[in-house]
Amino acid sequence: MIAFNKYYNHFNLLSSVLIVVSLLLLIFKGLNFGIDFKGGTLIELRASDSKINVSSLRDRFNQMDLGDVSVKKFGNDTDFLVKFENKDNKKNIIEEIKTNLDKSFGNSYDFRRVENVGPKVSAELLKSGVIAISLSLALMLIYIWIRFEWQFSLGAILALFHDVIVTLGVFSLFSLEINLSIIAAVLTIVGYSMNDTVVIFDRVRENLRKYSDIKIFELTNISINETLSRTIITSVTTLLALLAIYFFGGEILKGFSLAMILGVVFGTYSSIYIANTVLVRLRVSQKTVLREDDQK
């Protein structure tokens, strides 16, 4: 049996630090919102001429008076991602750009993807993203409240918040782009993290009923160990699937799968070291579950 409980305090400290650092990052550095949430125009461009590179493209675009233009390589050497704000929401901006690029590069390039999100739509998308995440957290809270005693609910929700905040913190730290698919990833992380926590909690509760003489500090450790191989196997298979998406699923899914990978790692960790330590700190005992049973 692995003594997970030996490190409860250490990891609680670590998690607190992680959460504080993430919050500071989110407040002071903020998130790198993509055009979905900030509005603007995105062009994915494929070049068939080596003359076209990041600096020549940047030159061309800067001459067009589009405001702040970002030009990046996208996946391989011939693909580029161009983003700009399109502040005035000009109507024929894409056509203008095409005409302009044609002058310098002829037809040795191709627009593979064009996205243009107006300021109204981006504000709405951001709003509905925030609502979606809040709503999912609220629903999880209600669900876990119905299924478990309040001490368990608190543990599970704290673990959830930890996962969401730290994942977003990592995105802030590395200025990774937040777009619609990241919201999808965060919601899935919420589901996954909850799933992981619930499996261990289920066992904790079962053991609480079974053993009256074991303290919660020990009991959580027993439960974690009993479910450990399931925790590992499920995390591994999920991570295998996600790694396959990350490495082979194309550039568009990279951000999504990275967020999910982080979420699965944090989710697994928090189920063990946050959710359970809340039970220990709240001194959950056999009485906690038996009282609830009596009421039912």
Quick one: CA torsion of 123, 125, 127, 129, rounded to 10 degrees? Answer: -150
Q: Which residue, among 59, 62, 7, 68, has the nearest Cα to 40 in the 3D structure?
A: 68
Binding positions for another protein, 70-109, rule CB under 8 A:
91-92, 94-95
Q: Which of 52, 69, 81, 183 binds another protein (CB under 8 A)?
A: 183
CA distance 257 to 180: 13
Token pair 């960790």 in the structure block, residue: 269
Q: Is 287 in the site for another protein (CB under 8 A)?
A: no
Q: Which of 25, 71, 178, 198 binds another protein (CB under 8 A)?
A: 198
Q: Which of 135, 150, 211, 283 binds another protein (CB under 8 A)?
A: 135
For residue 185, give both structure tokens: 């990833």
Site string for another protein, 147-166 (x = CB under 8 A): x-------------------
Rg over alpha carbons for the chain, rounded to the nearest Å, is 24
Binding positions for another protein, 222-251, rule CB under 8 A:
226-227, 229-230, 233-234, 236-245, 247-250
Q: Is 110 in the site for another protein (CB under 8 A)?
A: yes
Q: Give the residues lining the site for another protein (CB under 8 A).
A: 44, 91-92, 94-95, 110-118, 120-121, 125, 128-129, 131-132, 135-136, 139-140, 143, 147, 180-181, 183-184, 187-188, 190-192, 194-195, 198-199, 202-203, 226-227, 229-230, 233-234, 236-245, 247-250, 252-253, 256-257, 260
